[in-house]
Amino acid sequence: MDVILMRISHNIVNPAAVVADLIHRSDLARHDKKVYLIGSQGVKDELKLLNIEYFGDGIDPVDAQPASKGQAFLYELELEEHPENVGAVVVGYEKYFNYLKLMKAANYLQNEDCLFLATNEDETCPGPNPETIIPDAGPLVAAVKTACGREPLTVGKPNTPAFDYICRRWGVDSIDPQRTFNGLETV
């Protein structure tokens, strides 16, 4: 059973693998650029697999910013990296997304040379309780897009980077959509 599951998982393409591959093939690594990540463990795993340096994931409390004490807005921002050292901002699903992460992403993306990559723009994701709406990456991407005034390159299917990745990985010239998609909204 484990061998079957390994074979199946080896043939599943997710946006995390596509975004990591795209960054790996870019000039970021050669220029010692880092990735500001708003994303899940899956994205972190794929970036680590390709030795891509990232930061920003996980809990980032607004109250940790010195200028936030007792203020309604953050007027100053302490960034972990100088914007010139950040080659990409990746936005995917992350349960720790907050105003501070939004502000950091928007500020890093003021550098026109910084790539803006989205894993996917799905509005919601399924969960065990059909009564509960679970926002996916789409609302987070929309917030960053609105704050920075830029459009992301969305890498997950049905977008071009996913098709390019699949064709390159399996050496095919075209893809049968019936074998590629997992739902009508991603066709």
C-alpha 35/C-alpha 179 separation (Å) is: 32
Q: What pLDDT is recorded for position 10? A: 65
Q: What pLDDT is recorded for position 3? A: 44
Q: Give the DSSP per-residue string, 103-172.
A: HHHHHHTTSTTSEEEES---SB---S-TTS--B-HHHHHHHHHHHHT---EE-STTSHHHHHHHHHHHT-
Domain 2-67+82-186, CATH number (from 3.30.559.10, 3.40.140.10, 3.30.70.260, 3.40.50.1000): 3.40.50.1000
Q: What pLDDT is recorded for position 6? A: 41
Structure tokens, 38: 């708003």
Q: What pLDDT is recorded for position 4? A: 44
Task: Tell me how long the chain is.
Answer: 187
**What are the sequence ranges of the domains in the chain?**
2-67+82-186
Render each residue's pLDDT in the chain as its tens digit; 187 residues.
454 444 445 677 899 999 999 999 998 877 889 999 999 999 999 999 999 999 999 998 877 666 666 666 677 788 999 999 999 999 999 999 999 999 999 999 999 999 999 999 999 999 999 999 999 999 999 999 999 999 999 999 888 888 888 888 888 876 655 555 555 455 4
**pTM for the whole thing?**
0.85
Q: What pLDDT is recorded for position 31? A: 87
Q: What pLDDT is recorded for position 61? A: 80
Q: What pLDDT is recorded for position 66? A: 66
